[in-house]
Amino acid sequence: MRVKIIEPLNVIESKRKRVCAYARVSTVSEAQGESLENQTTYYRNLIEANPEYEYIGVFADQGITGTKDERPEFQKMLNLAREGEIDLILTKSISRFARNTTLVLEVVRKLKDLGVEVVFEKDNISTFTGDGELMLTVLSSFAQEESKSASENLKWRYRRKFEQGELAVNAARFLGYDKNKHGDLVINRSQAESVKRIFTDYIGGKGTFIIAKELNAEEMLTVAGGKWHSSTVLNILKNEKYKGDAKLQKTYSKDHLSKKKCVNHGEVDSFYIENNHPPIVSKEIWDEAQRQIALRAKAKGNVGETKNKYQNRYPLTGMLLCSKCGAPLRRRIWNSKYSCKKVVWQCSTYIKNGKNACHGTVIDDAVIARMNIQSETVVEEVVEDGKKYYRYTSKGKSDKPSGKSGAAEKTCSRVLPGIDRAGRAVIKLRSPG
């Protein structure tokens, strides 16, 4: 009897592609929200209707710029791709995916290395085709320039508003004021009492730390709903809006890609409007608060906005230099918790990076105090017959050693007066150059 073995047929089932989509809109407006919802519905239907696709999801970011990769849904999608859960990403266009050329190319290359394809529908580009990267480079450059143009247009509109004396203030996070239906600042009576109290207490002799501590003890929240800090109180005391004036363009965006906010020290034009809105405190009270702030800062050695907090606290700060590396010596207290505590000046390189960076120089404060040091002086330790001595070399006005920065250049601004549409005086503080 013959027995024939009939082997089973191995039916190889084709693996479906795991597909997701990415969508983004740059604002949280109602129209943009509807657009995002439409995109989400479209891609879900498109993927689920294709028998070769396995639906993974639609990742959508709203109100977030495409010049950065700090987008929660975008990052969530990339994490799934790194875990091998995605084969194909669909997106409407390059500008929806990202507006930064470098970012687009960096991300798609990483995805390509992971075996993940990205298809840009509107641009008809697949990252798996031969000419895909060339087309991406060209088109994403256009998208980046479009973003730059939009950013410049927005800046221009704000500058025109500022020149006309129009404010751009978020009253929801501004203690003491609300906005009326015309967009003008009006006093919030209950919040204004807190502002008045802060000015009164500070002029009365209390410090910002004590004021913040008392407000927290009374369980009074800031306008943002958080706890009070010394810096919060100080910012209120320095805000010219509480005396009825307004300085516009205090900050500016460094570039359209990072969108980093920088304090305006004269890099761009700023505008000062007098008597713009009802004051909460009088100009005399506000001016007295500024005088007190300056006096207390001087007493602590914190002089100048651009200087380090402790830069001029002691007369010899920045005057003593290490003979080994040229770095300034820093005042320190050894054994500060004990009766044997000792004040010394020690090499800042040694303090920061240890003896591998510099073996350091250290000298007692009592010793150096006996010297009449008037200019930069190099302090050198010399050991003779087992005893330590010090040798001092005055640098006078010669070049500073490497690692020590020079003084910041002082710039002056021209002041041009003008009148806005409401007849208020608008002073334009022009940036240098």
* Same domain, residue pair 293 and 325: no
Contact 246, 162 (CB under 8 A): no
Tell me which of 166 and 269 has the higher pLDDT: 269
* Same domain, residue pair 292 and 326: no
Instruction: Lowest mean pLDDT of 141-145, 177-181, 216-220, name the range.
Output: 141-145
Res. 152 pLDDT band, cuts 50 70 90? low
* Same domain, residue pair 109 and 177: no
160 within domain boundaries: no
Res. 254 pLDDT band, cuts 50 70 90? low
* Same domain, residue pair 142 and 177: no
The residue-averaged pLDDT of 44-72 equals 83
Res. 282 pLDDT band, cuts 50 70 90? very high
8 within domain boundaries: no
Domain final residue pick, 235, 268, 300: 300
Res. 296 pLDDT band, cuts 50 70 90? confident
141 within domain boundaries: yes
Q: What percent of the chain has pLDDT over 70?
A: 64
Q: Is the pLDDT of residue 37 over 50?
A: yes
The residue-averaged pLDDT of 351-370 equals 83
308 within domain boundaries: no
Instruction: Lowest mean pLDDT of 290-294, 336-340, 348-352, name the range.
Output: 336-340
Q: Is the pLDDT of residue 169 over 90?
A: no
Tell me which of 398 and 372 has the higher pLDDT: 372
* Same domain, residue pair 48 and 139: yes
Split into its structural domains, the chain has a count of 3
374 to 318, 326, 343, 389, 393: CA distances (angstroms): 11, 18, 20, 21, 12
* Same domain, residue pair 28 and 135: yes
Res. 29 pLDDT band, cuts 50 70 90? low
Tell me which of 376 and 79 has the higher pLDDT: 79
Q: Give 197: exposed, middle or buried? Use CB within 10 Å, 0-12, 13-18, 19+.
A: middle
Domain of residue 186, CATH code: 3.90.1750.20
The per-residue pLDDT for 78 is: 93
Tell me which of 72 and 304 has the higher pLDDT: 72
The radius of gyration of the chain's CA atoms, rounded to the nearest angstrom, is 32
Model pTM above 0.75: no
Domain final residue pick, 254, 269, 300: 300
The residue-averaged pLDDT of 102-120 equals 85
Other CB atoms closer than 10 Å to residue 24's CB: what's the count? Answer: 25
Instruction: Lowest mean pLDDT of 95-99, 137-141, 307-311, name the range.
Output: 307-311
Contact 359, 343 (CB under 8 A): no
Res. 280 pLDDT band, cuts 50 70 90? very high
The per-residue pLDDT for 428 is: 44
What residue numbers bound the domain in which 132 lies?
Answer: 17-148
403 within domain boundaries: no
Torsion of CA 172, 174, 179, 184, to 10 degrees: -150
* Same domain, residue pair 296 and 324: no
2 within domain boundaries: no
381 within domain boundaries: yes
Res. 244 pLDDT band, cuts 50 70 90? confident
348 to 47, 371, 383: CA distances (angstroms): 61, 21, 22
The residue-averaged pLDDT of 190-214 equals 91
Tell me which of 7 and 418 has the higher pLDDT: 7
* Same domain, residue pair 191 and 224: yes
* Same domain, residue pair 175 and 99: no
The residue-averaged pLDDT of 381-391 equals 77
* Same domain, residue pair 225 and 337: no
The per-residue pLDDT for 404 is: 35
Q: Is the pLDDT of residue 255 over 60?
A: no
Helices 283-300/189-203 angle, 10° precision:
50
* Same domain, residue pair 117 and 235: no
Mean model confidence pLDDT for the chain: 75
The per-residue pLDDT for 411 is: 30
249 to 166, 258, 304, 414: CA distances (angstroms): 11, 18, 21, 16
The per-residue pLDDT for 7 is: 64
Measured distance CA(335)–CA(314) in Å, rounded? 20
As a three-state string, the secondary structure of the chain is CCCCCCCCCCCCCCCCEEEEEEEEECCCCHHHHHHHHHHHHHHHHHHHHCCCEEEEEEEEEECCCCCCCCCHHHHHHHHHHHCCCCCEEEECCHHHHCCCHHHHHHHHHHHHHCCCEEEECCCCEECCCCCHHHHHHHHHHHHHHHHHHHHHHHHHHHHHHHHCCCCCCCHHHCCCEEECCCCCEEECHHHHHHHHHHHHHHHCCCCHHHHHHHHHHCCCCCCCCCCCCHHHHHHHHHCHHHHCCEEECCEEECCCCCCCEEECCCCCCEEEECCCCCCCCCHHHHHHHHHHHHHHHHHHCCCCCCCCCCCCCCCCCCCEEECCCCCEEEEEEECCCCCCCEEEEEEHHHHHHCCCCCCCCEEEHHHHHCCCCCCEEEEEEEEECCEEEEEEEEEECCCCCCCCCCCCCCCCCCEEEEECCCCCEEEEECCCC
Distance of CA 146 to the CA centre of its chain: 24
Q: Is the pLDDT of residue 2 over 80?
A: no
200 within domain boundaries: yes
* Same domain, residue pair 141 and 183: no
The per-residue pLDDT for 157 is: 59
